[in-house]
Amino acid sequence: MEKTTLFDKIWDAHVVKSVPSGPDVFFIDKHFIHEVTSPVAFLNLEKRGIGVKNPSRTVATPDHNVPTVDQDKTIKDKLSRMQVERLRENCARYGIELHDLGSAHHGIVHVIGPELGITQPGMTIVCGDSHTSTHGAFGAIAFGIGTSEVEMVLATQCIMQSKAKKMRITIDGVAGKGVTSKDLILYVIAQISAAGATGYFVEYGGSAIQSLSMEARMTVCNMSIEMGARGGLIAPDETTFEYLKGKEYAPKGEAWDKAVAYWKTLKTDEDAVFDKEYHFDAADIEPMITYGTNPGMGIKIIGNIPTTEGMEGSNKTSYLKSLAYMGFEPGEAIMGKKVDFVFVGSCTNGRIEDIRSVAEFVKGHKKAENITAWIVPGSREVEKMAHEEGLVKILEEAGFELRQPGCSACLAMNDDKIPSGKYAVSTSNRNFEGRQGPGARTMLASPLTVAAVAIAGEICDPREVFEN
């Protein structure tokens, strides 16, 4: 029998038909929608005079542009309010499950899916959001789609999709102190570049990946898109099953045993061939930070910003444009740079484990005076746990401002914007120009590094702050 990868197994089981010299008609098990990329899809269904084929396969939540304060009140911004109201109307009209603002299960779509057990191994999952790759942490094929494709899924439960090439990224070994899964993925992206996995679907493996918690695996898979990958996935194992067991939407009783038996078959055959393979040693990885305007522009925090040596043409022009935007010079160190804001949150690092690590770190300390520190839980559930575990108290005493769940300053669609010219160290996923507000300068790092920066008021090595 032909040796196949995990990606092949799930993909091939969901192909309804292969169009000759064209894409596959690809069946979608679970579809997540939010307020920003769905309204035009619903509008088009209406124009075509068709409905939603299988409403029970779609789950909705408003997250991208919701305010993170006063969520119990009417949304002040008219356009944001209209989008959220349109989502409510569409869900009511077509019978789609909605986890609305203020409800117990509200949150960022990629946080609530796993947290509720909706996300499961072997599934095909799509959403009109590129960070849908997060769900790959469970051994699912999960990827972001455009609004036309959202419309396709609503109308037919399928999309037209060409199968991506296959890449495996293996990280073996043990990472050092102060190195988190965010550092692993920022390191990988810096090594292979922001376009290094374009055209590929990535499987992550190796002992350093297998030893990660589900939350940490989600951080890795979440950022697959930041190296251009269509998505990323990790074979399910006991850590996965343990996480899912007892979750509200996970199978129960006999159905659970049957599901686990199937999930255990979901792995890459030993001699299966990938189109591209990378191997990294976790011991080489140190706390990372980005200095430029795409996530591939990352260095170890104790390192220097690369010089332009060896660069030419549009490559060099684009590099210098990026550094000019950031207000940095080629070759200089990043340690000691003054910071104005820190942001803990997003679908990358807005889960309970992230908030725990920040709270543990800042306990008994105060944030530096020059820092505004925002902490935005990924969901109501995360917020609730943070309160129950006493983390909120610790964070507030340290001078952090806890806000309500949503995408918040990760993409700054709501009022949570970093002012022009200011520096923010963020646990989010993108450092693009203006991503956190027009003119905002973003540096991406782990929750641990962000906690250390909040205390020091400048870029610093979390390992040193640890020792002090």
For residue 434, the minimal CB distance to another protein (Å) is 5
DSSP track, 221-260:
HHGGGGGT-SEEE----HHHHHHHTT-TTS--HHHHHHHH
Smallest gap, in angstroms, from Cβ of residue 170 to another protein?
Answer: 23
Asked if residue 191 binds another protein (CB under 8 A), the reply is no
* Subset of 217-276 contacting another protein (CB under 8 A): 225, 228, 230
Residues 102-131 that bind another protein (CB under 8 A): 128-130
DSSP symbols for 270-284: TT---SEEEEEEGGG
Query: Which residues does 99 contact at the CB level (< 8 Å), separation at least 6?
Result: 59, 60, 61, 105, 106, 107, 112
Question: How many secondary structure helices (H) and strands (E) does the chain include?
Answer: 17, 19
**What's the min distance (Å) between Cβ of 371 and another protein?**
24
The residue from 91, 118, 142, 152 that contacts another protein (CB under 8 A) is: 152
- Site for another protein (CB under 8 A): which residue of 4, 71, 170, 198? 198
Options 58, 61, 83, 426; binder of another protein; rule CB under 8 A? 83
Residue 313, C-beta contacts closer than 8 angstroms, at least 6 positions apart:
none
For another protein, give the closer residue by CB, 208 or 444.
Answer: 444
The contact pattern for another protein, residues 405-434, with x = CB under 8 A and - = no contact, is ------xxx------x---------x-xxx
| CB-nearer residue toward another protein: 46 or 242 | 46
Beta-bridge partners for 289: 299
Q: Is 37 in the site for another protein (CB under 8 A)?
A: yes
Site string for another protein, 368-407 (x = CB under 8 A): ----------------------------------------
Number of residues that bind another protein (CB under 8 A): 75
| Cβ proximity of 291 and 332 under 8 Å | no
Tell me how far, at minimum, the Cβ of 71 lies from another protein, in Å. Answer: 18
Which member of 12, 46, 51, 54 binds another protein (CB under 8 A)? 54
Nearest distance in Å: CB 447, another protein: 22
Contacts (Cβ under 8 Å, ≥6 apart) of 227: 188, 189, 192, 193, 194, 195, 196, 197, 198, 202, 295, 296
CB 434 within 8 A of CB 228: no
Q: Which of 147, 211, 213, 239 binds another protein (CB under 8 A)?
A: 147
Among 71, 156, 213, 239, binds another protein (CB under 8 A): 156
Q: How far is the CB of 342 from another protein (least distance, A)?
A: 20
Site mask, another protein, residues 316-355, x = CB under 8 A? -xx--x----------------------------------
Annotated ligand binding at 347? The verdict is yes
Spatial contact of 64 and 33, defined as CB atoms under 8 Å apart: no
**Closest separation between CB of residue 23 and another protein, Å?**
6
Asked if 47 touches another protein (CB under 8 A), the answer is yes
Torsion of CA 120, 123, 128, 133, to 10 degrees: 70
Contact 454, 400 (CB under 8 A): yes
Buried b (16+ CB within 10 A) or exposed e, 158-169: bbebebbebbbb
8 A C-beta contact, residue 59 and residue 96: yes
Short-list 445, 424, 446, CA closest to 434? 424
The alpha carbon of 305 is separated from its chain's Cα centroid by a whole number of angstroms, namely 25
Q: CB 152 → another protein: shortest distance, Å?
A: 5
Binding-site residues for [4Fe-4S] cluster, in ranges, read 347, 407, 410
